Chains A and B, each alone.
Chain A
């Protein structure tokens, strides 16, 4: 008890893990018929998590790095949770996306499986844990937690397409997990620690003999994280999985690729900064070209997609590409831009998935295929929201997508290969614009040309648009107060580029 009263800030670090875990376990106790109770409980848990994330954001605002040692074991020996500005920022984005996804799910889609809310909370447990953990092995454990929950969520609703996509998704990720363990074993064998802060210290003095294996281990890690983030050669699992999942689940999955991006960012700034000597900047040479290629391939995929869900999935891949370009460029400005682009891309992709769900439901037998079909109920309203989403995702002025892309282009000017980077980003934007214009006109204009039976508009369907609309409103906030948010993300970037504070906060007085 004294520990609790002495250090309220460190209990704030573990609370985002305890809340979804306990909520998930308690949700198991509800009886099958008590859907209303489960919904309310799950929603309350997510709201509490939003509050906790805001609390952490406030607590880390002045540059304090909060740590929590489990069982009070001192840092390099015990398990440690670390909350810095970056972790708090990602926790907030996760809980917000989760809130809106859950809102949509509670309008009826959660009926299809009894344990939807349990899996949803455990998925949040895994996500929060991955952002907060301070050592590599627990990163693996939390990856597994979020993955096993996501397997269940991806299959929610059943059906052949989901089973097939789910099987691929699971096998690919299990192979990825095996690679992660090999990398972790290699790192433990070389350095005798898995604590990230301790590793950062040890990486400054790597004996020449160990440089090769260390490089191999770190690049294996990059491969694993790239798989989770869906970078270019490793993105093939994503489109089918995201396109076949139900809309709220796909919206929540929009944050999952960001876990991989977060892990890459954390490792490349904390472990592979300038103090790492020979190993410094190990990821940079790989990230930028792969990210550029991912962006172009994502947009080409969006252009070639034959259904709305698949197009949204490819747009997620393209947004990962944009994000990784920012992280690959690496400077203070580029990182700040990337961290501003991250919530924008996550929120707008989630909104797009939610909207796609409404459109799919509204078009009846045609579903989300790009074929002329019956009018969507409330077509003008849905169309307006779709238009807003398209502007955000294609990066057209005046919304946050444009700001993010503009800042990214400005940050890229310092890079020696800037003409290539600029050309590829702008070309990808054009491709995205064409893709979205094509799908929008197909869905909303060509529909009238077909004498499809028009379903009578129901009041419930207007309500189904609320979560997507609210998410879009949030991205408007991101646009209107862009200056303040950029200041905040610049502060995050500053903290990331000074890993000394992180190491000191975790290891404290230990040598």
Chain B
């Protein structure tokens, strides 16, 4: 199980980083999502992998599953979900305003007085 989980984390991270380095916003958002999946699995694994153990110590019980990483993962999932929602909205806004889904889209030449001077 350890090998399977570490492989999954590794592959997810690799895919996430690869997509994060793309030039279009959609792959970048996808990459961020994959990266956060990998991170969540990693956090989960930081409490060691055990099967079929209760998360609460009781008399006569040998071994238990660490509940803290599970709480951490839940928090991380909630935060990651909110951030993903926000970044998708921002990507859509960028697509609408800049007229392109390039991450470095320059937009209309004279659209915005606050824009940087272009070379």
| Interfacial residues, chain A to chain B (CB-CB below 8 A) | 137, 141, 144, 148, 151, 155, 157, 159-164, 166-168, 170-171, 174-175, 177-178, 181-182, 184-186, 188-189, 240, 243-244, 306-307, 310, 365, 367, 369
With beta carbons under 8 angstroms apart, the residue of A148, A175, A240 that contacts B82 is A148
CB proximity to A under 8 Å, residues B48-90: 48, 68-69, 72, 75-76, 79, 82-83, 86-87, 90
Contacting pair A307 B43 (CB below 8 A) = no
Question: What chain A residues lie within 8 Å of B42 (beta carbons)?
Answer: 181-182, 185
Question: What chain B residues lie within 8 Å of A365 (beta carbons)?
Answer: 113
Q: Of A148, A155, A178, which is in contact with the most chain B CB atoms at under 10 Å from its CB?
A: A178
B43 — nearest CB in chain A belongs to which residue? Answer: A185
With beta carbons under 8 angstroms apart, the residue of A157, A185, A188, A310 that contacts B116 is A310
List the 10 closest A-B pairs by CB distance, nearest first: A189-B46, A185-B46, A160-B107, A161-B115, A185-B43, A160-B112, A181-B39, A188-B46, A178-B35, A159-B112
Contacting pair A170 B72 (CB below 8 A) = no
A243 — nearest CB in chain B belongs to which residue? Answer: B116
Question: What chain B residues lie within 8 Å of A168 (beta carbons)?
Answer: 103
CA distance A307 to B115 in the complex (A): 10
Q: How far is the CB of A150 from chain B (nearest CB, A)?
A: 12
Known: A184-B43, A240-B116, A243-B116. Contact between A163 and B82, CB under 8 A?
no
CA distance A207 to B114 in the complex (A): 56
Interface class of chain A by DSSP: helix
Contacting pair B35 A188 (CB below 8 A) = no
Question: What chain B residues lie within 8 Å of A178 (beta carbons)?
Answer: 16, 32, 35-36, 38-39
Q: How far is the CB of B38 from chain A (nearest CB, A)?
A: 8
A367 — nearest CB in chain B belongs to which residue? Answer: B113
Contacting pair A181 B43 (CB below 8 A) = yes
- Pick 10 A–B contacts, CB within 8 A, sort by A: A160-B98, A160-B107, A160-B112, A163-B93, A170-B86, A178-B16, A185-B45, A186-B46, A188-B46, A240-B116
Q: How far is the CB of A146 from chain B (nearest CB, A)?
A: 12
Question: What chain B residues lie within 8 Å of A157 (beta carbons)?
Answer: 114
Contacting pair B32 A171 (CB below 8 A) = yes
Contacting pair A170 B87 (CB below 8 A) = yes
Contacting pair B87 A174 (CB below 8 A) = yes
Q: How far is the CB of B88 from chain A (nearest CB, A)?
A: 11
Contacting pair A164 B98 (CB below 8 A) = yes
Contacting pair B117 A369 (CB below 8 A) = yes
Contacting pair A160 B115 (CB below 8 A) = yes
Q: How far is the CB of B68 from chain A (nearest CB, A)?
A: 7
Q: How far is the CB of A385 from chain B (nearest CB, A)?
A: 22
Known: A174-B83, A182-B39, A189-B46. Contact between A166 and B116, CB under 8 A?
no
Contacting pair B72 A137 (CB below 8 A) = yes
With beta carbons under 8 angstroms apart, the residue of B39, B82, B91, B116 that contacts A167 is B91
